[in-house]
A = this chain, B = another copy of it.
């Protein structure tokens, strides 16, 4: 009885979603069975039989399995679509509760400053993408975006880009021509170019794919630059605001030198 790797995957994800190991194993086990008893399940999943009962009870309370109270009890997993929908609902509720709670709290007003040299670091592709969206939506004059990796051109980003107001210059660079074509097709209103920023790529390491992630310059006063860790693929970004911000100044200088085109794509 070997365990296919997608079974392992499913078990892991379920744990990330908050289930205990036994619960996860049992649920996946039931997903492979039309219906099962504690004994069968225990054999299939290596969960000690005597613990199957507890695990199943928890799963039932979460709406992920059904129990038939006969003897022996029969268990079965809720159909996949129903299960995922239920999980979604659960998390949606939680996020909403979080939102409401935090919304009614905010700011213990400390006498706070906003010096100009602030440069903030953040991580995580989702978070960086959300920030990117926010910045793009707030632009009033000019958006310069350089995309360093195909994987960053998500549906969501494309959607945000296509919603940009007509009066705003939208300039998008890529590191390769195929990607440029792709961008131009996805975002017809944009002016695209192939970036002269190849030097931002890993220089000395050989297989160092994609050092730069994205570069976003909004109204020449807000900048976000990200890179992708070659090993973990995690995206990391730094972010600076304000016309006088050091990073922003550097970016403007790059632009002046033509390395980032402004309105005249090379």
List residues of chain A with CB under 8 Å of any chain B CB.
4, 6-7, 9-10, 13-14, 16-18, 28, 31-36, 40, 44, 60-69, 74, 76, 78-82, 84-95, 97-108, 110, 112, 118-131, 134, 234, 239
Contacts and interface: CB of A to CB of B under 8 A. Distances in A.
A121 B68 contact: yes
A65 B123 CA distance: 9
A202 B150 CA distance: 61
Chain multiplicity (copies): 2
Given A31-B105, A106-B32, A126-B89, A120 B68 contact: yes
A30 to B, nearest CB: 11
A120 B66 contact: yes
A130 B110 CA distance: 46
A126 B110 CA distance: 42
- Interface of A, secondary structure class, is helix
A90 B126 contact: yes
A123 B91 contact: no
B69 A124 contact: no
Contacts of A107: 32-34
Nearest to A110: B33
A91 B91 contact: yes
A17 B103 contact: no
